[in-house]
Amino acid sequence: MADTQFDVVFVGGGPGGYIGAIRAAQLGLKTACIDKRGTFGGTCLNVGCIPSKALLKSSEYYHLAQHGLSDHGFSLGTVTLDLPKMMARKDKVVGDTTKGIEFLFKKNKVTPYKGAATLTGPNSLKIALNDGGEETITAKNIIIATGSDIVGLPGLTIDETSIVSSTGALTLGAVPKHLVVIGGGVIGLELGSVWQRLGAKVTVVEFLDRLIPGMDGEVAKNVQRVLGKQGMDFKLGTKVTKGEKGATGVTLTLEPAAGGPAETLEADVVLVAIGRRPYTDNLGIETVGVQLDPKGRVVVDHHFRSTVPSIFAIGDVITGPMLAHKAEEEGVAIAELLAGQAGHVNYDVIPSVIYTSPEVASVGKTEDELKAAGVDYKVGKVPFSVNARARANADIEGFVKLLTDARTDKVLGCHIIHAEAGNLIAEAALAMEFGASAEDIARTCHAHPTVAEVVKEAGLAANGRTLNM
Ligand code: FAD
Ligand code: NAI
């Protein structure tokens, strides 16, 4: 019979759980990882980051083939959409990526379990195996990495056909004529972009009077302007009070968030993207006495320890941004802590990227946060239009905005809108991790011609100097 006593068991095989399990096994801990989904990779690989990015890339190419190439001196004639093929490519990307985790588990000697886990004690778990039967395992340490789940809106029952969550929006069988997105956050803008590029009219209804709350205000305004130019409509400061399904779609009733007369809006498909909730359903949390906060997140201390000493939690199910790389960092940190090392996550330097076109990327403090905290700061802001490579690539939309401490010149935040923003933000994150100044960035030789030169120029601009503008 297989040995079922482990040093550490990760419940949940998403970016937090599977990365943490690999690291723990590499450090010599006898490790298992359990997921009930049937494939490892969690929300991110199965119904999140990866399928959405596959569709973003395909739809970007489709749009480019239709509208973006004539300036380069050629056209493709009539471009037709084969949606089932696009979806099949996305599914293959997901399948290949999730299979890769099973390979990594084998390579690193992590024991995988496919089934739903329930906590039965501070050191024991029961697994209802997907293939039938039940298994009980014990562990010196249990890590809750059960992630998050979609949330619905009262009165709008998600059926994944005409009223969809992000999961349904990744598998629509046809391009809707009118897609109404409720929530102008990350999912709304990314998946709204996908369907807009494929031909849908997209209207985003957002409760607040701005998009992407939490991102720098100036950046958010520019994102709205750019996406608006692409044809996306925005109804800000608006709430949906009712949704009625008819034969051909959904009739939504909207009201100004501040109160006022109602209006109706017809949609073929409604995407509800108003945030996600931490997920601990049927985990047996109550049985073992793990405490949750009022938002349903597992309460943990600085070392991820819950209110039960042998049980820890990481990723979307605890406080902090619901991002795959944040969950991964926490997975590595908890594995290292359990192995007696000094695992640590620097929460001041967690980049976040919205994969629209152009992309929007951010790390560190926003200008609004620095103002509110009374910090004396400088801004180095440089548009991509001054950059030769951006012009050669026809990617001049956007800017780098570097925020630095006025006294020490230390980088406090960086916000980028550009086609390559997601890759470029890594330089600012590295600078912040090393406590670099704007002067350090400006003195670092950047290859020419690259769009990364704009980050260097922003380093100069923060100190009142520029070379290219
Ligand atoms: P999850 O990935 O949610 O994994 C938890 C796993 O636990 C699940 O597979 C679940 O089946 C399993 N589980 C739960 N309970 C049990 C149980 N009792 N027994 C066994 N298994 C259980 N983040 C980014 O950083 N970049 C992106 O581009 C990005 N894009 C996204 C796009 C979409 C559409 C969505 C929805 C999310 C996106 N995210 C993105 C967020 C990202 O997916 C999450 O932050 C990340 O997956 C969290 O990882 P996790 O390990 O905490 O949990
Ligand atoms: P979100 O928190 O990014 O945005 C939700 C939006 O909905 C907010 O703007 C909010 O004000 C609005 N809202 C809330 N209630 C509303 C209502 N009743 N009516 C209208 N608007 C309402 O959440 P989203 O987009 O659902 O994404 C969930 C999580 O997934 C995010 O935390 C994000 O971090 C993660 N994610 C990350 C991605 C990335 O890193 N590229 C991509 C997709 C998701």
Structural domains of the chain in order of their starting residue, each with its CATH number: 5-60+79-150+277-339 (3.50.50.60), 163-274 (3.50.50.60), 352-462 (3.30.390.30)
Parallel/antiparallel/unpaired status of strands 377-383 and 178-182: unpaired
The pLDDT, as a whole number, for residue 142 is 98
57: tokens are: 């890339």
Question: For this structure, is 448 an active site residue?
Answer: yes
Known binding-site residues for FAD equal 53, 146-148, 316, 322-325
The pLDDT, as a whole number, for residue 248 is 86
d(CA 187, ligand 2 centre) in Å: 6
ipTM: 0.99
Q: What's the count of helices (H) and strands (E) in the chain, helices before strands?
A: 14, 21
**Is 184's C-beta closer than 6 angstroms to any atom of ligand 2?**
yes
d(CA 108, ligand 2 centre) in Å: 35
* Ligand nearest to the CA of residue 189, numbered in listed order: 2
Mutate to test the pocket of ligand 1, among 18, 43, 193 (most ligand atoms within 8 A of CB): 43
d(CA 465, CA 183): 40
Average pLDDT over residues 194-206: 98
Q: What is the pTM of this model?
A: 0.97
pLDDT in tens, 378-429: 999 999 999 999 999 999 999 999 999 999 999 999 999 999 999 999 999 9
pLDDT classification of 306: cutoffs 50, 70, 90: very high
Q: Which of 67, 303, 344, 448 is catalytic?
A: 448
Taking 90 as the threshold, does the pLDDT of residue 432 lie above it?
Answer: yes
User: Does residue 195 sit in helix, strand or coil?
Assistant: helix
How much of the chain is in helix, strand and coil states, percent to nearest 5? 35, 25, 40
d(CA 410, CA 377): 10
What backbone torsions phi and psi does residue 184 show, to the nearest 5 degrees? -95, 50
Inter-axis angle of helices 421-433 and 453-461, nearest 10: 50
When mean pLDDT is compared across 55-59, 63-67, 143-147, 385-389, the lowest value belongs to: 63-67
What backbone torsions phi and psi does residue 323 show, to the nearest 5 degrees? -130, 145
